[in-house]
Amino acid sequence: MLYLNSILETSLDNQKIQLETYIKNRLLNNPEITAELICKDELLYKNIKKWLKIKLNSEKHYIHSKSTAKCAFRFAEIVGENPYQAKLTALLHDNAKITGDNSNHANLGAKSVQDDLGLCNRKIFNAIKKHSFHNSYNTNFEKIIFLADKTDPAKREKGLYETALILLSEGVDIHKVVKMLKLD
């Protein structure tokens, strides 16, 4: 059994490396590629999700990531940020989450997106790095990722996401929404 487990782990490691090579090649060979093109490129986006799933090694974290991506997309649409950039960032925000000590997962995750996937974008890097803490000085884009993470209905209290949607649609500032929902 132990032997089988180690074979499976090795093959997953290999798959992860192969996916990183594919994604990196695609992104580094096309520095002008936008988040929208990445999200709409079926094979590329599918491989990014595959990479994330292997890396997270947790169905729970994976479901949270996909759900946070959907929330971030909607929030971004409402507040006039790039929804595809928000979706991609939110999908990847917890990529360095592991079982146990996660105090540095935001920093490690931002670095991994850049180093392992070749997704070199300051806005995405900063939003992943800052996703754990709300700060009024953060940009609207960074606040969206924080808000999506904290209201994701797959993981958080029911109704938070819908309330945040309503408040944002009514034009309430994101910082105020975070405070009203006591998320920080």
* Contacts with Fe ion, residue ranges (CB under 5 A): 94, 149
Q: In this complex, which beta carbon is closest to Fe ion, that of residue 24 or of residue 123?
A: 123
For residue 182, is it left (φ>0), alpha (ψ between -120 and 50) or beta? left
Smallest separation, CB 105 to Fe ion (Å): 6
Instruction: Report, in Å, the least distance between residue 142 CB and Fe ion.
Output: 13
CB 152 within 8 A of CB 135: no
Q: Is the Cβ of residue 142 or residue 149 nearer to Fe ion in the bound state?
A: 149
CB of residue 96 to Fe ion, shortest distance in Å? 9
Task: Output 26 or 112, the one with its CB closest to Fe ion.
Answer: 112
Nearer to Fe ion, 26 or 131 (CB): 131
DSSP of 17-42, one letter per residue?
HHHHHHHHHHHHT-TT--HHHHHH-H
- What does the DSSP 8-state code read for residue 38? H
* Closest C-alpha to 23, from 91, 97, 107: 91
**With respect to Fe ion, which residue has the nearer C-beta, 51 or 62?**
62
Q: Which residues contact 14 (CB under 8 A, 6 or more apart)?
A: none
Q: At closest approach, how far in Å is the CB of 50 from Fe ion? A: 19
State in angstroms the smallest separation of the CB of 106 from Fe ion. 6
> Contact, 50 vs 144, CB < 8 A?
no
Nearest to 88 by CA among 127, 55, 53: 127
